Amino acid sequence: MRGDADGRDRLANGQTVNERTLVLASASPRRAELLARLGVPFVIKPVDIEEDAGRNPNPQVIASRLARMKAEAARLLDQESPLIAADTVVWVDGELLGKPREPDQAREMLQELRSREHIVVTGIAVMRAGGRASLVRQPLARVTLRDYSEAEIEASIKRGDPFDKAGGYAIQDGGLRPVASYDGCYCNVVGLSLWATIELLRKADICMPQCADCPLMPPDA
């Protein structure tokens, strides 16, 4: 995004940002890449929240609550634009795994998840232009990581790969290649389910996006 002499912002394609331009309330480059696949013009306006959804035994409730909190924080900064926010959580044995902040945390998470099935949920919250209520979806996927070695864990940490990712890994990581199998939407595990995003954007009357190359649609689509 760049600015004009008249003070208005413009998208990379030259389109003027207005009250109908979708705001992505996330700093995640992966979510931006996925949203761009829908052909929807958007601007990126990240928000910071305290990612504490309280104690809850349901990861879908946690993910949707965090996504809604991000959308509400974004609404305080932008009163008029349509908004989309998301949050991905990794859940194993009743425990929520966040983003590791230091090597020891990353090492512990990758060791805990190795060769095990766990749950990944991405909560998505959408607000209509000028709206205050969120439409929310929270698709779930089951992921099993492979039996990678300690040396592979150390190499991943040395590259800095785990530190901005819930659970310390990314399904699309070409270095560690951590995932052995998954059941659910691939894009959901990356950080933004495209079919759920399409559904929410249409339901909120924001736009009618298409995604001809979405690799995985819901089973009943």
The structure tokens 């996927």 sit at 141
Which tokens go with 146? 């492979």
Cross-strand pairs, 137: 124
- Looking at the chain, how many residues does it have? 221
- Residue of 6, 9, 78, 87 marked active site: 87
Q: How far apart are CA 130 and CA 19, in angstroms?
A: 9
* 78 catalytic per annotation: no
Distances (CA, A) of 192 to 33, 96, 103, 214, 219: 10, 19, 26, 12, 17
Between the two ends of the chain, the Cα-to-Cα distance in Å is: 35
Backbone angles phi, psi at 72, to 5 degrees: -65, -35
Q: What is the DSSP string of 48-59?
A: -------S-S-H
Residue 176 amino acid letter: L
Other C-beta atoms closer than 10 Å to the C-beta of 15 total 11
Q: Which residue has the tokens 């996006």?
A: 209
Read off φ and ψ for residue 138, nearest 5 degrees.
-145, 70
* Catalytic sites, residue numbers: 87
